[in-house]
Homo-oligomer: A and B are copies of this chain.
Amino acid sequence: MTMSFKGKPSRRAFLKGAVAATGSIAGASMANAAGDPLITQVQEWASGTGDGVDATLYGMPIQFESDVIRRNVEWLTADTISSINFTPIHALDGTITPQGCAFERHHSGAIELSKADYRLMINGLVDTPLVFTYEDLERFPRENHVYFCECAANTGMEWAGAQLNGAQFTHGMIHNMEYSGIPLRALLEEAGLDAAGDLKDKWVYVEGADASSNGRSIPMEKALDDVLVAFKANGEALRKEHGYPVRLVVPGWEGNMWIKWLRRIEVTTQAIESREETSKYTDTLEDGTSRKWTWVMDAKSVVTSPSPQAPIKHGHGPLVITGLAWSGRGSITGVDVSIDGGKNWQEARLGAPGTDKALSRFYLDIDWNGEEMFLQSRARDSSGYVQPSKEELREVRGLNSIYHNNCIQTWWVKADGEAENVEVS
């Protein structure tokens, strides 16, 4: 494998160099590759009025994008009650995830809970236990923040080696939305925390209104820091499957703690050690012991295109390599990309400066020579942490884990532009 990397091409001759190879650009002749005259004649779609729009319906993607969905495979989970659906990150750009294709994890299906029926109780070590209606929550001062939500099991099947052929399935248990909600701190202060005494060792236990309840313990320090009780995502109500009407947002921490259909918050003297934080969402090491309280999602990144579901179709020449990076410990400060399996690295361009616990989009614009590549990306965050290789991660964690796999991903992009999930050593 040899790669001749020329860096960013001269802008003026950007695509001209590619014309001969792809045949898709026509110059002065104004004809496309097939030789058809273009645009100088009236196109079919310009010869009459277009379609009317029924604006009483929610606006849907065009039919040509019907493959940009959360799931087009049946084989990953046995049913739709206990299941996982994936963000089609291979087909998206930018950083915001539309709710319509944002990943979901269901422990006991999705419940339909109206605002009128909704109640949120705060009890335990508080001065005054309180029950809030949805309308009550709307009266508290609100904040807006864009945060990523990643399932602890994202990339989990890769512990055993390259398994799933597509960024949607290896890295698509993540979404990134603008949340509007109330700081949990404000609700706890409303109930009064004097009864809890010294807050240093206190916890909150949070649970949802669905049958799984999905209860989790959160240290008081985090609860009073940046946790939100949210009712909007990307401006609109949460989807039913995302916890309508109210979910918890626990920035930077594993998605399992982002309780949907939030119904109760109990202030306690210790962690509850619930099912979801003992038999699951712990990380078993090589010696058989398990790490617990591994809440934070460490810095991670993935190239979303080219990738197995987004092969290169245009031949050699200018190529946009793009992907996502994120860190639960702060903001992304940089992303490096390698096209030779980690031998050489080049700093990618961030679409915007990284923000706290949110997705960053990165780009590397190259002049592809048409030879195979072993594509990797490596994230760096504001804590100084650098995303590890698969080898480095296994060295520390062994092979028994399911959760918290944040290793560097490799796509083998072949000369024909098709890509495969592989491991390099």
Contacts and interface: CB of A to CB of B under 8 A. Distances in A.
Interface of A: 8, 11-12, 14-16, 18, 24-28, 30-32, 38-39, 43, 45-65, 68-72, 79-81, 83, 85-86, 91-102, 104, 106, 108-115, 117, 119, 121, 123, 128-133, 135-136, 138-144, 177-180, 186, 189-190, 192, 209-211, 213, 231-232, 234-237, 239-241, 244, 261, 263-264, 313-314, 317-320, 322, 349, 351-352, 361, 363, 365
A61 B52 CA distance: 22
B72 A143 contact: no
A50 B109 contact: yes
A119 B351 CA distance: 26
A3 B93 CA distance: 49
Contact of A94 (B95, B178, B318, B365): B178
Given A18-B139, A131-B30, A239 B50 contact: no
Contact of A27 (B11, B62, B63, B129): B129
Taking the full assembly, how many copies of this chain does it contain?
2
A215 B251 CA distance: 45
Contacts of A48: 211
A52 to B, nearest CB: 3
A157 B136 CA distance: 35
Contact of A237 (B43, B52, B65): B65
Contact of A14 (B190, B235, B264): B190
Contact of A15 (B70, B179, B190): B190
B131 A39 contact: yes
Residue with the greatest number of chain B CB neighbours at <10 A, chosen from A27, A100, A236, A240: A236
A351 B85 contact: no
A85 B29 CA distance: 41
A351 B144 contact: yes
Contacts of A318: 139-140
A210 B44 CA distance: 9
